[in-house]
């Protein structure tokens, strides 16, 4: 084979590989979107604060991967609602500049959480457990963040003596 033929062959292989990678990314995006849509449509009532006992009962009865995925999503919704509640309370104790700063930090933390969990779940990509692994990671990190926000709020409350929350 000549150098030109080898170059043409490598170029074709690169193009095919890029097409295959793009196809895989679209299939993954479709799978995640389909899963999220089905969870929203079939999740019943939204999770309300204090509904964790109900969630645990549902989770203890989960038998199929679909049910385990649904359970994971419900746990995540509950954790996210708690974090949002603590975050809202924290912002009430901050001035305008601090509120802007903590809101920016929270947005960046959510981006970090999502990227970290995509990486951690990457080994199960393509499998039926992938959504559950991804959501469990997001739930764990969200609970950790809630603890951090509570600690910050408690520090502010102790420093100011404002016990109104």
CB 51 within 8 A of CB 78: yes
Q: What is the pTM of this model?
A: 0.63
Instruction: Tell me which CATH code domain 43-160 carries.
Output: 1.20.1270.180
Dump pLDDT digits (tens) for 89-117: 999 999 999 999 999 999 999 999 999 99
Residue 65 — pLDDT band, cuts 50, 70, 90?
A: confident
Q: Give the pLDDT band of residue 45 (cuts 50, 70, 90).
A: very low
**Nearest-angstrom CA–CA distance, 15 and 65:** 36
pLDDT at 63: 75
Q: Is the distance from CB of 43 to CB of 30 less than 8 angstroms? A: no
CB 72 within 8 A of CB 135: yes
Domain ranges of the chain: 43-160
Which secondary-structure segment (H or E) carries 87? helix 65-92
The predicted model gives 128-137 an average pLDDT of 92
DSSP code, position 96: H
């Amino acid at each position: 084979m000549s150098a030109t033929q080898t170059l043409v062959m490598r170029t074709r292989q690169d193009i095919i590989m890029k097409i295959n990678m793009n196809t895989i990314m679209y299939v993954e995006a479709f799978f995640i979107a389909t899963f999220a849509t089905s969870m929203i449509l079939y999740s019943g009532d939204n999770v309300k604060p204090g509904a964790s006992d109900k969630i645990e009962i549902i989770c203890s009865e989960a038998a199929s991967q679909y049910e385990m995925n649904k359970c994971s999503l419900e746990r995540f919704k509950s954790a996210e609602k708690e974090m949002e509640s603590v975050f809202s309370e924290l912002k009430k104790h901050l001035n305008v500049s601090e509120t802007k700063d903590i809101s920016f930090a929270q947005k960046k933390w959510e981006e970090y959480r999502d990227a970290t969990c995509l990486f951690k779940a990457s080994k199960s990509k393509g499998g039926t457990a992938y959504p559950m692994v991804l959501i469990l990671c997001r739930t764990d990190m969200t609970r950790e963040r809630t603890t951090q926000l509570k600690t910050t709020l408690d520090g502010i409350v102790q420093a100011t003596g404002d016990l109104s929350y």
